[in-house]
Amino acid sequence: MRALRSLAFAALFAVGAISVGTPVHADQIVLKLGHTLPDNHAVGLGALRFKQLVEQRSNGAIRVEIFPNNILGGEPEMFQQEKQGSIQAVISGAGTLGNLEPDIAVLEAPYLWKDFESEKKVLTGPMFAHFQREFTDHQGMRILSMSWYYGRREFNPTKPVKTPQEASGMKIRTPPSPVNLLAGRVLGGNPVPMNFPQVYLAIKTGTIDAEENPLATIVTSKMYEVAKYVVLTHHIQQSQVFTINQRFWASLTREQQNAVQSAVNDAGDYEASLALKAENEELARLRSMPGVTIIADPDVNAFRARARQLIGQEKPVWESLYNRFSAAQ
């Protein structure tokens, strides 16, 4: 993570301050981008790389202003701002986007993906056009990428857990989306929807008993200070979705659209490389921390079987898509 922090400072130095207070030339187009992660997270670094590439490739015609770390609110609040046009773009989870178009949430269904390469293969194929059309037509939001790798989500409770039965009765924070609420039940507990900034204090005060997130998020947010167990369930493999306001997109010239799209693609590849590397680094770091216990051998087959059962019972629409994506890998 120290390497990521160094990269963050280098990126900030290279592309200039994120602050929105510096002057904007009258003929510049401003693209305001919001996301929920810290600047030193892989997604934050990817956003900085996107800013750098867009401003270079548009020859300064487009200026990117970044609003990281929930500055503008959680993902639901940012979606509304994006749709209204007060910001132009958001990097977010597919699960939360499922509150707008339910079928996209299946991309974060528990135990769907084999690995990131399989996920990227599917999400840059024909199904990408399906979701892009859906959001453009119904939400006024255009999807530019679905493969900014976020990581595999792991269980982070305040007591040791190896099976769904051992998590029975636990209050597990999840993002406020149907697929994440389902994941809380897959883990065996009672899901509690909650925006991320509230989670640390909620665990510390005993309002909830656990949360679940990728290792990089557990480390950067210091969740390990209040939830001492990290259970390697790998229950969700998650990538972030990059969306942009459709009216704003249509207002750009073809050359400017190409500059933005190519920057999204290249910055996404950069972000994914950082996130994949960070998973190994963060696991090693957590193993070395006094008082933190890594449970590397949970009964994954029991969690996976529970996922299949609950998807079949509760989400028949997801079940069809789930099977299609599984077969496409």
Tens-level pLDDT at each residue, the chain (329 residues): 444 544 443 444 334 334 444 455 668 999 999 999 989 889 999 999 999 999 999 999 999 999 999 999 999 999 999 999 999 999 999 988 988 998 898 998 999 999 999 999 999 988 899 999 999 999 999 999 999 999 999 999 999 999 999 999 999 999 887 888 999 999 999 999 998 899 999 999 999 999 999 898 899 899 999 999 999 999 999 999 999 999 999 999 999 999 999 999 999 999 999 999 989 999 999 999 999 999 999 999 999 999 989 998 888 878 888 888 988 88
Q: Where are the beta strands (DSSP E) in the chain?
A: 29-34, 62-67, 89-93, 141-157, 171-174, 190-193, 210-214, 229-245, 293-295
Number of domains forming the structure of the chain: 1
Contact call for residues 210 and 273 (beta carbons, < 8 A): no
Among 277, 272, 240, CA closest to 1: 277
Distance in angstroms (rounded) separating the CA atoms of residues 118 and 51: 28
**Residue 13 confidence (pLDDT):** 37
Q: Which two tokens stand for residue 9?
A: 């400072």
Amino acid at 92: S
Residue 24's pLDDT is 55
Instruction: Write down the residue that tokens 């007591």 correspond to.
Output: 159
**C-alpha dist (Å) from residue 193 to 24, 101, 119, 223, 258:** 39, 18, 26, 17, 38
Are 154 and 229 within 8 A, CB to CB?
no
Q: What are phi and psi of 248, to 5 degrees?
A: -65, -45
What was the pLDDT predicted at 9?
39
Q: Are 217 and 38 in contact (CB under 8 A)?
A: no
Q: What is the CATH number of the domain that holds 42?
A: 3.40.190.170
Question: Tokens for 87?
Answer: 């910001």
At a CB cut-off of 8 Å and minimum separation 6, what does 168 contact? 188, 189
Amino acid identity, residue 66? I
In the chain, DSSP finds a helix count (H) and a strand count (E) of 13, 9
Q: What's the pLDDT score for residue 25?
A: 66
Range of the domain at 31: 2-328
Neighbours of 247 (CB within 10 A): 13
